[in-house]
Structures are given as C-alpha cells and as structure tokens.
Amino acid sequence: MAPVQERSRCFNFSAGPAMLPDLVLDKIVGELGDYDGLGMSILEMGHRDAGGPVQEVLQEATDCVRHILGVPSNYAVIWQQGGAHGQFAAVPLNLLRDKTQADYVDTGVWSRRAMNEARKFCTVRVCAELREEGGRLEVPPVSEWNLSDESAYVHICGNDTISGVEFLEDLDLGDRLLVADFTSTLLSRPVNISRYAALYCSAGKNLGPAGVCLVVVRRDLLDFALPQTPMVLHWKAAAETSPIPSLANTPPVFSIFACGHVLKGLRRSFGDVGTLDNVKRRTQRRASAVYKIIDESNGFYINKVASAVRSQTTICFTFGRDATVQRQWTGSITDTVKPTDLEEAFGGIRICLYNGLPDEAVDEVLRLLRDFAVAESGGLEKICNCKVITCLDTCSRSIKAIKEEHPTASPTRSCLEHNLRPMPVL
Ligand code: PMP
C-alpha cells in the first residue's frame, strides 16, 4: 500500500473515531506485518511472554502516557476494554467504598450517560448543571455546586462533546474525590493529575483508535472495589498484574500498539519537554480561528457557550436563519471535508478538531465556513454586512473567488477588510 502521505486524504471532522496523523498511520502499517524483524505480527504474539514484544509495547505506551501527562508515581496507569461506557460503571464500582451516593455535574449527553450507568449502583445526585445566563451557556462555579459530604466522589465530563462545553482548567475540589471523563479532552492540554482521584479516556479521539480505555487512578483508592465488580472493570486487578499492569485478561494489543505510536508521534511533533503545552497552543489557535468566524458572522452562525467553557475541540453551532440553511450546509460538504457532524441530539453542526487533523484541514473548514456564509447571505451586499471576512489573506482569496464566480462584480479589498462600504449587489 502506498504511504498515506502519497494518497489523497479525506479530512475527517467527525466526533470520532478521529483522524490519525499520516506519519503515525504509516508507522503502524509499516510495523504491523513483521514486528521488529521477528517474522510475526505483534497481533499474533502472546501477552503472557514475560518481557516479550507485547509487554514491551504495553510498557512503552504506558511510559509515554506517564511522561507526556506527568503522571505522579502514586497514580496507576491501566488500559481496560469496554470504552468510556465501561468506565461509567467502573467508577462507582471501584470508588463508592462505604457510600451509596455520588455527585455528578450535568453538562450534557455524556454526563447523563455516565449518570445512567452509575444509577445501577448508587444514588446519583446532580450537584450542578449547565445553565443559560444572559443568552450564554455556562457551568456554575464550583463554589455554587451543591456538593454532599455523603457522596463518594464528584464526576465531571471533561469535554461534553454534544453541547461543546469543556472544563478548560483543572478544578480544585480539595479533599473530595474528583473523577473525570477525559475521553474527548485528553492530550489537548496539560493536566494537573493530582487534582483528580481518577480520570479515564476512551480511545478514538486524540489518544488513538478505538478499542481501549486509559485509566489513571490514585493508588490509595485501589482497595475499595465492591465485591461484585467484574474483573475486567476492576482497577486494582488491572493495576497489580505481573510483571506489568493491564494483563488481567488479553489486552487489546492493536489499540494499545497504535496508541503508543500516537503518543510517540506527539513527542516527535510537539517536543519531549512541554509536549502538551505546545499541543495546547495549537489547539487554542485552531479553535479560536473557528470561533472568530462564528462570533463575527452577525448571527449567521450561533454558538451560545460562554468563553470560559467553550470546547476547544468540539465546536458546535446552529444557524441563525431557517432550518433549510442547515440542509444546504450538509449539501455543501465536499468529498475532502467530511463529515462535519449533523448531530441530531444537539440539532446543529459540530466541527471536531482533534490532534490528528492537519492544519490544512482546519484551513479548509475555515474556508468552508466563510464561503458558505457568503453564499447563503444572498449577495455581495450581505457579505459586507455579515463581517464574515476579516483577515487580509482571506480577503484576497475571497475577492479572487468572487471575481471568478461573478465576473461582473467589483469587490474591493477595503470593503471586505474593513466592512466599510456596501458591496454592489449583483
Ligand atoms: N464520553 C465522551 C466525552 C465521549 O465523547 C464519548 C464518545 N463519543 C464517550 C464518552 C463514549 O465512549 P465509548 O463509546 O468508547 O464508550
């Protein structure tokens, strides 16, 4: 097969599985057939071979997680199956201890999924929820959360993808046990692990291909699993296998092998020191470029999430005009840009900017957003009014595109740039 970089590549803005970087895909494909010249694929090798290739791959991926995230030594790093849904159950099973209730923050669909699973094992209290204040969606500050001393832990969803609401900072809940679903936010910014009792991240977004869930848990909390906890969700059972963790049952070798390559790729691309600081800078730059277009579109695109909790990875918006515009958006998606998500649960569009997405893909979607707003605004006069086009580079590009499309038009740079004079209507 030709290297990925030589094939035409489709940009995938969906909520996951997300794109993997080309170089990472090539490394995976290159190593898969014959691992390390041994005449066998890693997929055919046994995980019980002490110190053998599978254990080596597992250990390397785990070490990479520890290095990149700066996981303190009093935390265990384990890989389990069952995705985040498995952990929705694992969290109460492992952390309820002698309590019978837990506090959950409701920021959207994924918080509620976690709650629904937890309800099978304990009483779930909603201690805080997303609220609309002055037309903005916001999460109340921790000081306003209705936390209970009787609750075993407090659960948040780090990035609730369907509402596009993300905790951009690590919360400080003092002695309370904070547990986070980091499925859609891990590896987008540095994390102060010590603030958490446990966090989990189902692969399929920044971490690598689906099939495995990474769990980071404080070691002193490993002793409390309820007796009925299934072995495959038992954190201590996974943390204490020998000679390395995560061998309680046959691990999903391919997923962990691929996650290892993603993690090594991050270190290569973003540096070995401060990897996630560098990733965060890129994440923020890309997200703010999209939000800028949304915010400056004069209500053509609408995102109501308050800036303090605006997702940097899953950007949701609706259209200020009638619903047909949304259908036309879907029709305007080209073969190289697909799919931005038409998310029924949310009723709008979602653009996901996971790490594997190259910058040129983001440029493509920015162009799509601008062009679509321009086309749907019904004439060049409206282009000016909707302030969609702001930067110089875009102006020249758009002027060229407009001239090609409408040879009789005479758009001017200052008009597009400064939104000063109305454009001639065609
Ligand atoms: N939590 C979040 C924030 C998610 O985005 C998703 C997947 N889209 C899940 C949980 C569910 O993950 P899984 O399907 O691996 O259980």
DSSP code string of 75-102:
EEEEEESSHHHHHHHHHHHHH-TT--EE
Q: One-letter amino acid identity for 70?
A: G
What are the tens digits of pLDDT across the range 182-198?
Answer: 999 999 999 999 999 99
Comparing 414 with 16, the larger pLDDT belongs to 16
Checking if the pLDDT of 373 tops 50, the result is yes
Comparing 317 with 6, the larger pLDDT belongs to 317
Q: What is the pLDDT of residue 418?
A: 34
User: Which DSSP helix (H) or strand (E) runs through 160?
Assistant: strand 159-160
Mean pLDDT across 4-8:
61
Checking if the pLDDT of 343 tops 80, the result is no
Q: Cβ(162) to ligand 1 under 6 A?
A: no
Q: Report how far residue 400's alpha carbon sits from residue 3's, in angstroms, rounded to the nearest whole number.
A: 34
Q: Does the predicted TM-score (pTM) go above 0.95? A: no
Q: For the chain, how are helix, strand and coil distributed in percent, rounded to 5? A: 40, 15, 40
Closest CA to 93 of 153, 45, 173: 153
Residue 145 is a catalytic residue: no
Average model confidence (pLDDT) across the chain: 86
Checking if the pLDDT of 394 tops 80, the result is no
- Please, which pLDDT band fits residue 395 given cuts at 50, 70 and 90? very low
Q: What is the pLDDT of residue 19?
A: 92
Residue 110 is a catalytic residue: yes
- CA distances 150 to 89, 174, 279, Å, are 19, 15, 38
- Residue 351 corresponds to which tokens in the numbers above? 């653009």
Q: Cβ(157) to ligand 1 under 6 A?
A: yes
Mean pLDDT across 392-397:
35
Checking if the pLDDT of 128 tops 90, the result is yes
- Please, which pLDDT band fits residue 401 given cuts at 50, 70 and 90? low
Q: Cβ(319) to ligand 1 under 6 A?
A: no
Closest CA to 74 of 251, 224, 164, 193: 193
Residue 382 is a catalytic residue: no
Q: Report how far residue 162's alpha carbon sits from residue 314's, in angstroms, rounded to the nearest whole number.
A: 8
- Please, which pLDDT band fits residue 88 given cuts at 50, 70 and 90? very high
- Please, which pLDDT band fits residue 419 given cuts at 50, 70 and 90? very low
Q: Report how far residue 111's alpha carbon sits from residue 128's, in angstroms, rounded to the nearest whole number.
A: 11
Mean pLDDT across 132-147:
96
Mean pLDDT across 379-390:
34
Checking if the pLDDT of 384 tops 70, the result is no
Catalytic residue, chosen from 110, 145, 235, 329, is 110
Give the residue, by CA position, lying nearest to ligand 1 atom 11.
84
Checking if the pLDDT of 168 tops 90, the result is yes
User: Which DSSP helix (H) or strand (E) runs through 124?
Assistant: strand 123-129
Closest CA to 286 of 9, 4, 3, 13: 13
What are the tens digits of pLDDT across the range 24-58?
Answer: 999 999 999 999 999 999 999 999 999 999 999 99
Residues 87, 90, 91, 96, Cα dihedral to 10°? 170
Please report the DSSP string for 32-53 in residue order.
Answer: HSSGGGSSS-GGGS-TTSTTSH
Ligand 1 centre from 183 Cα, in Å? 6
